[in-house]
Chain A
Amino acid sequence: MATKVLMEALSPTMDEGRLVEWKKAEGDPVAAGDVLAEVETDKAVMELVARGSGVLLKQSIPAGTTVPVTSTIGWIGEPGEVIPTDGAAPPAKAPARPLAPAASAPPAAATAASIAPPSAGRIKASPLARRMARDQGLDLAVVPGSGPEGRIVKRDVEATRTPGAAIPSYAFAGTGYRDEPLSQIRKTIARRLAQSLGPIPTFYLTTEVDMERAAEARDALKAEFGEAGQVSFNDLVIKAVATALRQHPACNAWWQDDHIRYWNEIHIGMAVAIPDGLITPVLRHADQKPLRVLGAESRDLAQRGRDRRLTPEEYTGSTFSVSNLGMLDIDEFTAIINPPEAGIIAVGRIAETPVVHQGQVAIRRRMRLTMSCDHRVIDGATGAEFLRTVKRMLENPLALVL
């Protein structure tokens, strides 16, 4: 009689395992003690051995699948034996979202009436959008609809697939991101830290930046180019963050519950206060645009944000955010992460401060940056290295021109 092969608890704390690789093919003879498969536990990759003999009748789950301990992953029996139908295939632990191209746009202060409320029951979508989503393995439940009454239409499916695709003056090629399944250690970190600190286990890193050279650069640009050379400190910070993210892609990512999406594109959300709340317009491909363009765009987006004239595409899809309260005389603060992003930098005011500079006490313009990090995605050192790069760039603003 055919017997099940179960996902075994290979470590005391393991409650699910990822089948890394089958070592026996269907139809291969198996003896008790043979290695059937490699399984990744919360600690390591281990071997799963056969408990009985015969042939491997069926591999019930493909390599790469994660299932809870005690799930059936295969069958061993006599050649040609029929597998009982009741438990033929174990339910693979249903991922909360399909691993493929699903992307939930961050719910950045959704105020426009055209945004769909979280879907309750039937999902409204055009026949064309349904066909495209089906073809691309996209779950319509995660697509924000922009059609009449929040109906999902073609452009929504396209936008979900390639956020930030529609920028007239700049054409960007290539895939926008790389999805990486969670390793067991990342899963354990995520689970344990979320238990401790709430759904987004956040930690904070603060650094003080010397802004003397940035201020000089800003003055020089203005003197040289007049109106066209006007760049705000905020533009400089955004440019520095975007440029630094290019060097630290680990911080440019979305937490997606069952995987992490590492973005190849850099879209910076910029928190803007509006009369009864806040909105986060997105500077797309901020790393690739010159400061002048970034500055013009951010002013335009901020103004239209205050006028409530932004389209949903303009305030969704950011990969990292910046919030600035310096103009309100705040020295430093901690900003709240805009999920599913993994980090946000809070910008304080630029203050003249006595500091030791080249062995002398000098009065220098200084600014504090505080980064909030989602520990499920960004570890302490990872965030610190990124923040140090931002600091160095601002202290040597020529780096932003490169």
Chain B
Amino acid sequence: MAAYDLIVLGGGPAGYVCAIRAAQLGLATAVVEKEKLGGVCVNIGCIPTKALLHSARVANLVQHELTGLGVTVEGVSTDYGQAMKRSRKVSEQNSKGVEFLMKKHKVTVIRGTGTLVPGKKVKVGTEVHEARKAVVIATGSRVKGLPQIGLEINKTTVISSDEALFLEQTPGTMAIVGAGAVGCEFADIFNAFGCAVTLVEAMPRILPFEDAESSEAVAKSFAKRKIQVLAGAKVLKATVGPTGVTLEIEAGGKSQMIEVEKVLMAAGRAVNTEQMGFKECGVELTPQGFVKVAPGTLETTAKGIYCIGDVAGPPMLAHKGSREGVVVAELIAGQHPHPIRYDNVPSVTYCHPEVASIGLTEDQCKEQKLGYQVGKFPFSANGRARATNETEGFVKIIRDTKYGEILGAHIVGGHASEMIHELAVARENEYTVEEVDLAIHAHPTLSEAVAEACLDSMGRVMHT
């Protein structure tokens, strides 16, 4: 029986980051992983989709956006299979990178499926490993279909992202059910590779948790590229055949039939809590099925067992899980980590144009009856955006009327994912719109739009 200070169940972005931080703090640490290191994120999530989105972006650029640039390209064709193979390589490189990091930080990787055993022990295969200080659950989540409306994932005509990421070629027609980040990203990808995409969303708009103006901007861009969007839509009936699926969908008061080669289920995830000895060790679940944790410490209902990442509850985002991993490692090592502000986790969708946000939407400010001012700056008025043909989108800042606190920030546009962090830093440190503007922004950059939106919220915008 091997003994460690800390055993982490799961080597995804929450688990492996926790292990590295624990090792940095001098704890003898092991990670249990049954598949490839890096988890869903590195292997079948964040990373390969970003590789495919890059292919999609280049395809759109070459096919539709070269006019007047002085560059002519002839004989353009796209090949999803090729793009897929490259995305696999990128994933593999990243997973190998995590493996290297484990070695570098002297974290032991135990291959296999781990099961909790009472007394802070983890069983892998026939071997039992003991944790002297703590066990951290980071078992993550997986895709889940919607069998209740007849759309159970069959991996051929009804698929999830798990299958979409390995397709050799793009289907001619596809319906994507669910228009959150995953749905919108795949709509962008398959559209760019020549597939006729219908995006189906039950809520009244796509990206329903983003600011309404962000949803509107993306919907407009999708419409231009002929991605059909059905929002406020209900799948009444699904008939799954061997080569295609017929969907009866009600949207806007009328029902219609859609025939597609494939349906991609981009709604709903299930957390991995089954058959891992949770119940036997006193690890309780919430009514929603997540592991119940104490706020602040992330300790479960079983003493010495902690939980981080998707399985510990929303938001189910890699960077939220990673931060929880750091905090838990530091707590276990006896430190006093900076508490996580769950209201300050940035959210990004990498379709084109990108959508990035942090804090409250304008609708949430209204619901909470907060006194607020909106500042907005369109990229069409930004020099750098004009120079690089990226004039879609805007920066929107919502600030508190009285003190200028940044209540929410929403960016739609090229590189929005990179620009949001200025506002994450500002909010984490309680800078107001004034401090953001006071920092000199280089010219010409897209980030100038952030400063301008802050100025606009104070009624002092300069360049519109």
- A: residues with CB less than 8 A from B are 112-114, 126-129, 131-132, 135, 148, 153-154, 309, 311
Contacts and interface: CB of A to CB of B under 8 A. Distances in A.
Contacts of B429: 126
Interface string B424-462: 000001111011000000000000000000000000000
A127 B432 contact: yes
Contacts of B336: 112-114
A126 B338 contact: no
A132 B297 contact: no
Contacts of B431: 126-128
A344 to B, nearest CB: 30
20 contacts: A112-B336, A113-B336, A114-B336, A126-B429, A126-B430, A127-B431, A127-B432, A127-B434, A127-B435, A128-B403, A128-B404, A128-B432, A129-B430, A131-B403, A131-B432, A135-B402, A153-B430, A154-B405, A309-B297, A311-B296
Range class of the B interface residue count? 10 to 19
Which of A127, A148, A309 lies at the interface centre, i.e. has the most chain B CB atoms within 10 A of its CB? A127
B430 A128 contact: yes
Contacts, number: 30
A154 B402 contact: no
B304 to A, nearest CB: 13
Contacts of B296: 311
Contacts of B435: 127
A126 B403 CA distance: 12
Interface of B: 296-297, 336, 338, 402-405, 429-432, 434-435
B404 A131 contact: yes
Given A113-B336, A128-B404, A154-B430, 13 more contacts: A112-B336, A114-B336, A126-B429, A126-B430, A127-B431, A128-B403, A128-B430, A128-B431, A129-B430, A131-B404, A148-B338, A153-B430, A309-B297
B141 to A, nearest CB: 28
Contacts of B297: 309
Contacts of A126: 429-431
Nearest to A309: B297
Nearest to B429: A126
B403 A135 contact: yes
A143 to B, nearest CB: 14
A128 B338 contact: no
**In the A-B complex, the 7 residue pairs with the closest CB atoms:** A126-B430, A128-B430, A113-B336, A131-B403, A127-B435, A128-B405, A127-B431
Nearest to B403: A131
B338 A127 contact: no
A30 B403 CA distance: 47
Contacts of A128: 403-405, 430-432
A356 to B, nearest CB: 52
A127 B429 CA distance: 8
A277 B403 CA distance: 41
Which of B403, B404, B405 lies at the interface centre, i.e. has the most chain A CB atoms within 10 A of its CB? B403
A132 B403 contact: yes
Contacts of B434: 127
